[in-house]
Amino acid sequence: MTLAAIDKVFAGSIPQIYQSHFVPLIFEPYAADLAKRLADRKVSRVLEIAAGTGVVTRALDQALDERVEIVATDLNPGMLEQARALGTRRTVDWRTADAMALPFDDASFDCVVCQFGAMFFPDKARAFAEARRVLKAGGVFVFNVWDRIDTNEFADVVTRALEPMFPADPPRFLARTPHGYSDTSTIARDLAAGGFAAPPQIDPLELRSRAAGPRVPAIAFCQGTPLRHEIEVRDAARLLEATDTAAAALAARFGSGAIDGRMRAHVVTVVR
């Protein structure tokens, strides 16, 4: 399996660990921000792409008027199973769908929202063109992407900690994909290639990532993301060792008790 294919696989036990460890660690604060940005907009139908286990879906459910229809999609059925199990106040239309081939009519949504999914799209301009296609005239596409890995402390420490374990071929998933789409000029260029004529508004947003102890982010990153596949492909017997190594590095940097670290993302808003 190619690196591009591995990077998109959220299956097995990953969705459960992703939800229990990763969502509270880094995703909930940014989900609240996206929901807040949409709360004051007059929308009646919202599409979420790359919804994962539904952290943004649940934030939108709480923030938007109860009459607003929410359709939430993801490429990985296992992630949507977790989202469905957690539930929402309103009825959400959960669908397995590829962001580059959305199964919806033209001009059928007032808003398309995506949290930390654009980095995974193999053809970003095509995915953006699909988002534009399903938007009504004047509709808005709002999404966020991570900034460089060196501006996101937990991810950076974990990546560096695993390098000595596999010196000939260190696992680079976190730097390559989640933190590999941080150049704002590239984002603007891809949006233009996807047909968006208006220039995007791109806002940096720095927040804090907090955990009860260093083992929480170690498990989150090493076992709750496709980084797990990279470790297991190199040596499946060393997954727990990798987790322990990451936890030790985080403890050395942030302490053995409750920890918090810097995280930074870009929030992109563009009007159709």
What pLDDT is recorded for position 6? Answer: 47
Q: Residue 44 pLDDT more than 90?
A: yes
Confidence tier at 10 by pLDDT (50, 70, 90): low
Residue where the block lists tokens 């870009």: 266
Per-residue pLDDT tens digits for 221-246: 999 898 999 999 999 999 999 999 99
Under 8 Å between Cβ of 231 and 120: no
Our CA dihedral for 229, 231, 234, 240, rounded to 10 degrees, sits at -120
Judge residue 129's burial from the number of C-beta atoms within 10 Å of its C-beta, 0-12 exposed, 13-18 middle, 19 or more buried: middle
Q: Which residues are CB-contacts of 45 (< 8 A; sequence separation ≥ 6)?
A: 68, 69, 71, 108, 109, 110, 111
Partners of 93 in beta bridges = 71
Confidence tier at 13 by pLDDT (50, 70, 90): low
Characterize the bridge pairing of strands 259-271 and 201-211: antiparallel
Confidence tier at 71 by pLDDT (50, 70, 90): very high
Q: Mean of the pLDDT values across residues 268-272?
A: 98
Domains in the chain, CATH or no CATH each: 3-271 (3.40.50.150)
Q: Residue 157 pLDDT more than 70?
A: yes
Among residues 27, 11, 33, 15, the alpha carbon closest in space to that of 178 is found at 27
Q: Which of 76-85, 170-179, 182-191, 195-204 has the lowest mean pLDDT?
A: 76-85
Per-residue tokens: 73: 């999609």
